[in-house]
Amino acid sequence: MILSFGPDGAMGWALGLPTLVALLAYAAAAVVPAEREAAVRGTLLAGWIAHALAILADITGLGAATAGARFGFAPALSVTMWLVLAVYAVESRFLPLGGVRRALALLGAAVVLLAFLFPGELRPHALSRWAPLHWVLGIASYGLFGAAVLHGAMLNRVEQQMRQRAAGAPTGMPLLRLERLTFRFVGAGFVVLSAALLLGAWYAQPWRWDHKTVFSMLGWVVFAALLAGRRAFGWRGPLATRWLYGGAALLLLAYVGSRFVLEIVLQRAPG
């Protein structure tokens, strides 16, 4: 079965309009000068709301001939980025996070467009009544680890600034607060990922060691080691962020990577 490239008909209109609005708003947020704070916040908020409507139309299969939910690598990336942007919108009111605004806006525009072009596979019925909760927990863990990666990148940036400046010079970002936030997101993501894996193992009959399962378990092990190393040995700085990036990469390969290969490279629906 060849998966369709982009939606059409009623679904195309339901998904296309919020996608276009989100693209324009995110593009505007990326180019508006940082000094115009109200305009930056307004365009990001407009993009975020339109993005939410696009996600709703996509994952619910709104306008499709058959009722059901859509799943695929692009919708998963889109929801993950939407959650990361939500975290950024809240924290930017308390922390000076302007340095990542342009990158996040451009990434938001990219994933919205990607989800429109590759809306995924429509599943009229779930394999189990627990499957939707498993999927929600899995995507939520993606969002939490995505937020952790964002904070880890900012943490590395602040540390580099501190090394490049004279001792005692301000960096504009509280290092210890960023570090605490990073590991809070890692801890929360680990708990949610553990729940998703346990739920998947419980209702999956029979259990299959496929690519998604293997990479998910490897990611879980990496995050468990990171939290254990932090608690037992005080891991921090580049060592901790390398473990964070490694675990996030494995988790990304688990669902997004396997679905990308099936949908785009092999052009067939997953079993």
Predicted pLDDT of residue 207: 66
Predicted pLDDT of residue 256: 87
Element (H, E) at 121: strand 121-123
**Could you give the CA distance from residue 29 to residue 52 in angstroms, rounded to a whole number?**
16
Q: Could you tell me which residues come within 8 angstroms of residue 71 by beta carbon, excluding any fewer than 6 positions away?
A: 59, 120, 121, 123, 135, 259
Predicted pLDDT of residue 81: 94
Q: What is the CA radius of gyration of the chain?
A: 20
Does residue 66 surpass a pLDDT of 90?
no
129 or 192, greater pLDDT: 192
Lowest mean pLDDT among 18-22, 197-201, 204-208: 204-208
* Most confident among 141-155, 195-209, 256-270 (mean pLDDT): 141-155
Confidence band, pLDDT 50/70/90 cuts, at residue 124: low
pTM of the complete model: 0.81
201 phi and psi, to 5 degrees?
-65, -30
Contact assessment for residue 15 and residue 63, using Cβ atoms and an 8 Å cutoff = yes
Does residue 255 surpass a pLDDT of 70?
yes
**Could you give the CA distance from residue 48 to residue 60 in angstroms, rounded to a whole number?**
18
End-to-end CA distance of the chain: 11
Predicted pLDDT of residue 28: 94
- Quote the percentage of the chain above a pLDDT of 90: 42
Q: Which whole number is the average pLDDT over 27-53?
A: 90
**Cα angle 102, 179, 176; round to 5:** 105
Predicted pLDDT of residue 3: 38
Residue with token string 């590759």 = 118
Predicted pLDDT of residue 182: 93
Q: Could you tell me which residues come within 8 angstroms of residue 43 by beta carbon, excluding any fewer than 6 positions away?
A: 25, 26, 28, 29, 32
The alpha-helical segments, DSSP class H, found in the chain are 9-31, 37-59, 73-91, 101-117, 131-164, 175-203, 211-233, 237-252, 258-260
Interval 209-225: pLDDT, tens: 788 889 999 999 999 99
Interval 77-89: pLDDT, tens: 999 999 999 998 8
* Exposure on the CB side of residue 176, measured as CA atoms within 13 A: 0
**Could you give the CA distance from residue 268 to residue 255 in angstroms, rounded to a whole number?**
15
Q: Domain segments of the chain: what residues?
A: 1-119, 127-271
